Amino acid sequence: MNQHIQPLQSVYGGNAANEASVVQRNRVLRNTYWLLALSMVPTVFGAWLGVSTGIMSTMSPGVSMVVFLVGAFGLMFAIEKTKNSAAGVPVLLGFTFFMGLMLSRMVGAVLGLNNGGNLIMLAFAGTGTIFLGMASLSTIIKRDLTSMGKWLFIGAIMLMVAGIANFFIQSSALMMTLSVAAIGIFSAFILHDLKRVQDGHETNYITATLGVYLSLYNVFQSLLALLGMTSGRDE
């Protein structure tokens, strides 16, 4: 009798565990999308505050870069430390406000162009399109994409190093090249991070939101830089 019961327990027990796993993954993914949407509010507010007050223009580009690096990495460290507590979401939202504030210098520069408002909306629409495309693709692809993470990380580090170097070189051609590369790398990061949640490799929605947010931020910033440079050349 036991020989017949044990296989049945294995089948039904396995099904129940699998269903629970699917429910957990869907919950994490849903919370990630909700928190991602919420994080846009402090980002927009930070960018608006920065443009309105001109606080970023009071800093030299060098000081601004140091503030950005120290602030961004410091807040990301704080998010990692608080991701399993009630403080995780407020710290993440504080980080997105800071990132919006840091973005205000570029937003203000683009707004100074004749068609600046249209360029910002175009960059926003382009970022949204990329996100929807990668989110849809993540539900279609069946293979595990975890292995591509290390190559994307290496690419992101190379971009950061090249970006710091270009701060001193001030090459427009290199800036455009880096912007195009950043759009490709961080678009792939969106796909990678969402697929990790759907496959159950990432179970913390705060960490998942941070990863996707950073990718969206970099895609938007790169699109805006490209549009601003090409528009400036056209004029």
pLDDT tens for 110-145 read: 998 888 889 999 999 999 999 999 999 988 988 888
pLDDT at residue 1 is higher than 70: no
CB of 84 closer than 8 Å to CB of 211: no
3 state DSSP class of 146: coil
pLDDT at residue 10 is higher than 50: no
Q: How confident is the model at residue 20 (pLDDT cuts 50, 70, 90)?
A: low
* Sequence-separated (6 or more) residues with CB below 8 Å from residue 235: 113, 114
Cα separation, 181 vs 108, whole angstroms: 24
CB of 106 closer than 8 Å to CB of 228: yes
pLDDT at residue 207 is higher than 70: yes
Instruction: For residue 176, count CB atoms less than 10 angstroms from its CB and return exposed for 0-12, middle for 13-18, buried for 19 or more.
Output: middle
Boundaries of every domain in the chain: 2-234
Residue 147 — φ and ψ, nearest 5°? Answer: -65, -25
| Residue linked to tokens 């796993």 | 21
Residue 113 — φ and ψ, nearest 5°? Answer: -80, 160
* Closest to 159 in 3D by CA, of 210, 99, 109, 214: 214
Q: What is the pTM of this model?
A: 0.87
| Residue linked to tokens 């969106």 | 190
Give the model's pLDDT for residue 11.
44
